[in-house]
Chain A
Amino acid sequence: MGLFILRRLFQGFLVVLGVTLVVFVATRMVGDPAQVMLPLSATAEQRAAFEHKFGLDRPMAEQFVDFIGDLATFDFGESMWQRRPAMDVIAGRLPNTLKLIAAGLGLAIVLALPLGALAAIRPGGFADRITVFLGLFGLSLPQFWLGLLLIMVFAVTFKVLPTSGYGGWTHFILPAVTLALPAAARLMMLVRSSVIDELNQQYVRTARAKGLRFPQVLFGHALRNALVPFITLAGWEFISALAGYTVVVETVFAWPGLGLTAMQAIKFSDLFLLQAIVFTVAIGIVLVNIVLDVIYKLIDPRIKLA
């Protein structure tokens, strides 16, 4: 177990290194930070001063070593826009994003499991066809549009929920639903197809031959085993939400999380803050992946760690 986690940490280190490399190449070699971050009216002297201040006038190799050194000490520099360390900005915003993801993904799971299992009981039956259609429909909704529609209906027309912002629990509803529906559709379709698969497995026939009642066969055997792929996808949903898909929802609902902050960083040309967000998320993804592997092990005894 210890060895396994070490190995995965090393792999995670490679991921972060890869991200570093791409970010470095994109920002320093392809793009020009001075041009992005300084106003168009900046004079040549201002540019030179800027480049000197951040060491952009030194050789690339030297810059890269410095860049890595800063990251290793969790020094992401100062947010130009907020005029305080980028890490402080992130520390203030990250919890909001995590809360939103937890609410959204929780809702998605609560919707997906029973609906998917219901559809799988009789493939091709009435309930199945309805849920599959709803699922495909859910997959087809662009998140930003769904969010705006919900705002239009519940906030503008019926005025029952706040349009946007962060506050009491009512503020959670629309963003969480927006984040949840497409994920719920994907998860539901997966639950459906894996439960159908499991119900056709030989061990389910054993369970039925034992005289077990259908709920026990469905929940105790088929659905239980379908949880393995389900956890994989749910984990992936969590990761992809973290990896940027909350940007859209947070922008639509002005939710003060990491995604909105990233958009603001872009708007204010705050490259250092944006870099810091990317790294934080990369590290978050690595950690979530390790946690997921441990969960697999708990569910499936056949998986050997290390």
Chain B
Amino acid sequence: MDAISEMPLLEVERLQVEFDTRAGIVHGLRGVDLSIRRGETLALVGESGSGKSVTAQAVMGLIDVPGRIAGGDIRWKGQSLLKGDGPRRAKDIRGKEVALIFQDPMTSLNPLITIGAQIGEVLQRHLGMTKAQARIRVLELLEAVGIPAPPRRAAQYPHELSGGMRQRVMIAMAIACEPQLLIADEPTTALDVTIQAQVLELIAGLQETLKLSVILITHDLGVVAGLCQRVAVMYAGRIVETGLADDLFERPSHPYTQGLIRSTPRLDDRLERLVSIEGAPPSLLAPPRGCAFEPRCPIAEARCGTEPPLAIVHAGASAACWKPSQPAWRDVPASAEPAPVS
């Protein structure tokens, strides 16, 4: 039993995704390495365009024209989803063992079908339930995600529900077959602030009761801290740093992570103004050969012109940087200093 639980649930290896555009090939993912174990919660953070959502879509098999998977592999419980008969098996895994919650619950539901039927579809597809069986289970699921008066709601159409309710419906749909991995792609971005906390709480609660692994994609570092054990930071189609959440916030290794944390406004901040990282992410049409952050990095030097590997910095933390753990900004300091060994 132990051997199985030790094995990663999902492994993403050197994954490359490219998009054909008239201007040239956009290298959306440039060799992403990622793995998640059973029951683990991982946050995937980074700015828009860094490849967080593309990674999730690749796992769910949602990359299509103009995009395509150009290299690398995705393995589920050790077996490839891309090679051999992987794509065929993947169809039975997606929606059942891995489920995805999208960012925008307004457009993610079919406007012309009742929510009951939309949730029921998953049950019929993966668990072979009849319509009648599915109907009963749908009511339980709606109850489980905290939607009041399930029988009435199940017969309603998406436009009759509020945004928060719709996201709950999406979650009900995702957990319908009791998946092992839930990927939540910015699940609260489109919602009102007051609703955001409720939805996150719901996901956290379900994670515990269902022993789910969760990949939470977000650009909001505040969300990460409370919810996830581990964090992976993406920049320009690559993972530049991974580590345990608490540790990574305490002592970020990669300059980009430092900049990201530095520019997150905090209530107790002594600084009056908001700070940001100067410059813009590189063009993914012609990504730099070396470290993608080099043009914006205050401590870059000559060797940053060659690509740094994702290497272990200290126990449980890796970073793709030639000068890890060095403070890149003067006001990052305290956190960037090596923490005392506990």
User: Which residues on A are within 8 Å of B, measured CB to CB?
Assistant: 201-203, 205-213, 216, 220-221, 224-225, 228, 299-302
Contact = CB atoms under 8 A, between A and B. Distances in A.
Contact of B108 (A203, A211, A221, A225): A203
B91 interface: yes
B93 A211 contact: yes
Interface in B186-243: none
B91 A299 contact: no
Contact of B121 (A212, A224, A301, A302): A212
Contacts of B122: 210-212
Q: Which of A210, A221, A301 has the most B CB atoms < 10 Å from its CB? A: A210
B75 interface: no
| Cβ-closest 5 pairs across A and B | A211-B95, A202-B107, A210-B95, A211-B94, A203-B110
A212 B120 CA distance: 11
B100 interface: yes
B97 to A, nearest CB: 9
Interface of A: prevailing SS: helix
A178 B184 CA distance: 54
A228 B113 CA distance: 13
Q: Which of A206, A225, A300 has the most B CB atoms < 10 Å from its CB? A: A206
Contact of B111 (A203, A207, A211, A212): A203
Contacts of B126: 211
B39 to A, nearest CB: 22
B94 A209 contact: yes
Contacts of A212: 95, 121-122, 125
A167 to B, nearest CB: 43
Q: Which of B91, B92, B159 has the most A CB atoms < 10 Å from its CB? A: B91
Contact of B110 (A207, A211, A213): A207
A252 to B, nearest CB: 40
Interface string B75-118: 00000000000000001111110011010100111111100000
Contacts of A213: 91, 125
A258 B159 CA distance: 44
A221 B113 CA distance: 9
A225 B109 contact: no
Contacts of B95: 209-212
B285 interface: no
B108 A210 contact: no
B71 interface: no
A5 B122 CA distance: 39
Contacts of B170: 206
Q: Which of A211, A213, A221 has the most B CB atoms < 10 Å from its CB? A: A211
12 contacts: A205-B108, A206-B173, A207-B110, A208-B62, A209-B102, A211-B126, A212-B121, A212-B122, A216-B121, A220-B121, A301-B111, A302-B159
B322 interface: no
Interface residues of B, number: 29
Contacts of B107: 201-203
A213 B92 CA distance: 9
A210 B173 contact: yes
A301 B100 contact: no
A299 B62 CA distance: 28
Contact of B112 (A207, A210, A299): A299
Contacts of A207: 110, 121
A203 B118 CA distance: 10
A13 B257 CA distance: 69
B159 A209 contact: no
A301 B108 CA distance: 17
Nearest to A299: B112
A221 B121 CA distance: 11
B61 interface: yes
Contact of A208 (B61, B104, B112, B173): B61
Given A211-B92, A212-B95, A206 B125 contact: no
Contacts of A209: 60, 62, 94-95, 99-100, 102
A210 to B, nearest CB: 4
Interface string B161-181: 000000000100100000000
Given A210-B121, A211-B125, A211-B126, A300 B91 contact: no
Given A203-B111, A301-B159, 9 more contacts: A205-B62, A206-B102, A206-B173, A207-B110, A208-B60, A210-B95, A210-B125, A212-B125, A213-B125
B176 to A, nearest CB: 8
Nearest to B95: A211
B157 interface: yes
Contact of A202 (B96, B104, B112, B121): B104
B157 A202 contact: no
A203 B157 contact: no
A83 to B, nearest CB: 54
Nearest to A201: B107
Nearest to B126: A211
Contacts of B100: 209
Contacts of A225: 110-112
B272 to A, nearest CB: 40
